[in-house]
Chains A and B, each alone.
Chain A
Amino acid sequence: MQLFKEKKLSPREVAPLLWERVKRSDSSLHAYISLEGDFNTPVPLPEGPFRGIPIAVKDNICVKGRLTTCCSKILEGFRPPYHATAIERLLANGIFPFGRTNMDEFAFGSSTETSCYGITRNPWDKERIPGGSSGGSAAAVAADEAIWALGSDTGGSIRQPASLCGVVGLKPTYGRISRYGLIAFASSLDQIGPLTKDVEDAAILMNLIAGHDVMDSTSAHVALPDFRRSLRNDIRGLRIGVPEEHFTQGLDPEVEAPVREAIETLKRLGAKIQSVSLPHSQHAVAVYYIVAPAEASSNLARFDGVQYGFREEGVDLLSTYGITRAKGFGKEAKRRIMLGTYALSSGYYDAYYLKAMKVRTLIKKDFDEAFSSCDCLVGPVSPTAAFRIGEKLNDPLTMYLSDIYTIPANLAGIPAMSIPCGLTKGGLPVGLQLLAKPFAEETLFRVAYTFEQNTAFHERNL
């Protein structure tokens, strides 16, 4: 961006340079599953104020005519006949989708190990996972293989990989960004959001993609601020709460130390720090792994080999469904569809799904209470830094617990952001999570920007 301002580089020169860089470095990372065109023969670029600036896009966001597979065999060969609204809005500003980034199959995972295209490696340590499910987007931004990227967050899928790869990631308020063209995982939780190198870039992207859309009736009719105006280096007097439950069992001291230090920094910068309690947040993982698979089992019922993607024919239509889904879905996808189908099935609905929806109410009330005395909450994003490839893959429950601090924001629909706040002794990035009340992204931007302007974590190069 500095080079743009000094007019040493024009946006349209970026794509070919980026193409060269990705060609050189992505073979060892595998952040991308495909790239757009060959930039030696220039592609036609869309008009608009950001003309020619490329963006990396997670493989569950529809780009018209381009393979969009959620990294699942069941969507083999699927080319959507329309753009997602977020893509439409970026194109209208001249920003074009540069490549598809790797993800856990249907966003089911926290490590990007369940993709049908193979794993993505963490650019900070290639023996480790980049987080997930937007692991490809986070790794691409961290490794300078993308200027910025889009991801999606259902239980932490933007914030956790952003934290583990040392970049900025924002999950906006539910309803802030249209979900039209985002292939549904859990419709009451999913949100598209930006992964960027710094807070200002996240604000710029939000200005372009947020806002009501007639194509998504759950997108909210609320005033849309200019998010760049909230980039103020001043948090004096702001009331920041520290949820005590986010510092309990399972939090690695290597993660706790930089997070505590970051809270001290915020205090030094004039914020009023206070302890708050979210008593029901300890149940968030259980609630989430009932609600999200239940919604997923229903959303993924459409993948049956009839209308889209992959089909394996059996002796009749019924067996065609069974075999297509058996061969098309990976292990984790099957596990979640089974879990969700069970939780919704007759005789178990009350004990699981209805119970989970009631506890969801309590989790949301905890936040309402906390935000009656605080403007913003801060804590860790993930209980550990990036773990080793394969470490948690065969133990689903342990994998699920890596989202323990990110899931509550999705259940309550509130906005949450991860910003880099330090490193472990082993040199792995650690993120700080900021949470605010619904549609208060401006508070997140203000706190994140102030922290960024007074620290140097975001400038650290690999």
Chain B
Amino acid sequence: MIDLETVQYVATLARIHLEKEESETLTEQLSKILFYFESLKKINTDTIQPTSHVIFLQNVFREDTLKKSLTQEDVLAIAPKHQGPFIKVLRVIDTQGI
């Protein structure tokens, strides 16, 4: 149903580093689950509209008025690392080509 290579590819999409053993276990478990999903294929849904949400809502607007929101201090305080007014992460831009 799903092979090891696909599992490893999906893991990169999901940004989860998997050890080889974990990928193998997941390949087996996800295959069983995907096999269970096969039953859906038998249902004719050619003329059926998909439901992504159960209550009918469209463009929920509000007045564009000023109101208090969270402070910068509040938000920075929950980040694992911060410096000055910024959340601190490792370098994103590769300097080698510059």
Interface residues of A (CB under 8 A from B): 78-82, 174-175, 188, 214, 217-218, 220, 280, 283, 285-287, 289-290, 297, 301, 304-311, 313-323, 325-326, 329, 334-335, 337-339, 341-342, 345, 351-352, 354-362, 364, 396-397, 400, 411-413, 438
B2 contacts A342, C-beta separation under 8 Å: yes
Contact between B80 and A174, CB atoms less than 8 A apart: no
Q: A321-B15, A338-B26 are in contact. Are A359 and B80 (CB under 8 A)?
A: no
Interface string of B34-52 (1 = CB under 8 A from A): 0011011101010011111
Given known pairs A81-B78, A305-B80, A338-B26, the reply for A413 and B39 (CB within 8 Å) is no
Q: Judge whether B37 and A338 touch: CB under 8 Å.
A: no
A306 to B92, alpha carbons, bound, how many Å? 13
- A and B contact pairs by CB, cutoff 8 A, 29 listed: A81-B70, A81-B78, A218-B53, A283-B43, A286-B36, A297-B14, A301-B15, A306-B89, A308-B78, A316-B90, A316-B91, A318-B15, A319-B17, A335-B30, A337-B14, A338-B16, A338-B26, A342-B2, A345-B13, A351-B41, A352-B37, A356-B40, A357-B51, A359-B48, A362-B45, A364-B54, A400-B33, A412-B54, A413-B55
- Taking CB atoms, residues of chain B closer than 8 Å to A319 are 17
Cβ contacts under 8 Å, A79 to chain B: 77-78
Pair A358/B15 contact, Cβ less than 8 Å: no
CA distance A360 to B36 in the complex (A): 16
| Least distance between A228 CB and chain B CB atoms (Å) | 25
Count B-side interface residues using an 8 Å CB cutoff. Answer: 48
Are B80 and A286 in contact (CB-based, < 8 A)?
no
**Given contacts A322-B16, A335-B26, are A311 and B50 in contact (CB under 8 A)?**
no
Say how far A218's CB is from chain B's closest CB, in angstroms.
6
Residue ranges of B at the interface with A (Cβ–Cβ < 8 Å): 2, 6-7, 10-11, 13-18, 22, 26, 29-30, 32-33, 36-37, 39-41, 43, 45, 48-55, 57, 60, 62, 70, 74-75, 77-81, 87, 89-92
B15 near A322 with CB under 8 A, answer yes
- List residues of chain A with CB within 8 A of the CB of B43: 280, 283, 359, 362
Among B39, B54, B62, which residue has its beta carbon within 8 angstroms of that of A188?
Answer: B54
Given A283-B43, A305-B80, A355-B40, A337–B50 Cβ distance below 8 Å?
A: no
Chain B residue numbers with a CB within 8 Å of A307 are 78-79, 87
- From residue B90, how far is it (CB to closest CB) to chain A in Å? 5
Given contacts A325-B15, A342-B2, 8 further A-B contacts (CB under 8 A): A283-B43, A301-B15, A310-B80, A314-B90, A317-B91, A359-B45, A397-B33, A438-B54
CB distance from A181 to the nearest CB of B (A): 13
Taking CB atoms, residues of chain A closer than 8 Å to B16 are 322, 325-326, 329, 334, 337-338
User: By the criterion CB–CB under 8 Å, are B10 and A345 in contact?
Assistant: yes
CB distance from A215 to the nearest CB of B (A): 10
- Distance of A80 Cα from B80 Cα, bound (Å): 13
Q: Do the beta carbons of B33 and A218 come within 8 Å of each other?
A: no
In the assembled complex, the Cα of A352 lies from the Cα of B39 at a distance in Å of 11
